[in-house]
Structure 1
Amino acid sequence: MVDASKFTAEVFRLAAERPDASPRLTRAANCVREGKFSWDEVAAGTCEHPLAQALFAPKAQEKLWPQLAEVAASLESAPEPAAAPRRARRAPATDDDFSEHTYLEDLAEPNSHPAWPQRRDRGR
């Protein structure tokens, strides 16, 4: 006998997406897409809709529940996805750090500061 306590909303959703899903499950999936009930309600057993209740009928226990158990087992055996490696962030630029900026002196203006080296006028 299959343990139905492992049939979570995720198990129902994944089983309904499989290409070999039973017609009973695909009809229930259509109702979920239409908003008539949710997989959470089905998994909790609180849904009163006939198509949701049909997922727990004796005929479904024979044909559908082994598929659901297979999906539940694959979810349990699947390793947790590893977290993506964190990318190093660039430190925020401070007001006195101008290393990433290039400031070119305007060549059309003469040097007006006395401490700056004087240059010959180009083209004048």
Structure 2
Amino acid sequence: MSMEFLPDKPIYQQLVDHIMGEIIRGTLTVGEKLPSVRDYAVLVGVNANTMQRVYRELENLRITETRRGQGSFVTENHARIQELREEMKEQLVESFIQNVQALGFTTNEMVHYLQKRGGSDD
């Protein structure tokens, strides 16, 4: 599962984002054990030190927890997972708004286009 990395964003941050995405999508579930740092590094094709930084960042964000002698696990704190989901949604929307405004589109234009595309599940 070697990953393709973007040149304009640090690799460790891309991996943090990737793992958070897996948690939000439910690919990684609450309480699930993550592969060891070394195994994950080999899996995605990065240095073990990079992967260690990823795991440390995830733990600092309270998305994972390390259990001594057992490894790293996705947090069992459902409220934290929901917070993460909301934070990522807010970041995506903010980035989207900045990009469309920079191109001169109005909010109404974009809302109309998204509704036309059928992007709403409501």
TM-score range, shorter chain: under 0.3
Greater strand fraction, Structure 1 or Structure 2: 2
TM-score (norm: length of structure 1): 0.25
Q: Which has the larger radius of gyration?
A: 1
Greater helix fraction, Structure 1 or Structure 2: 2
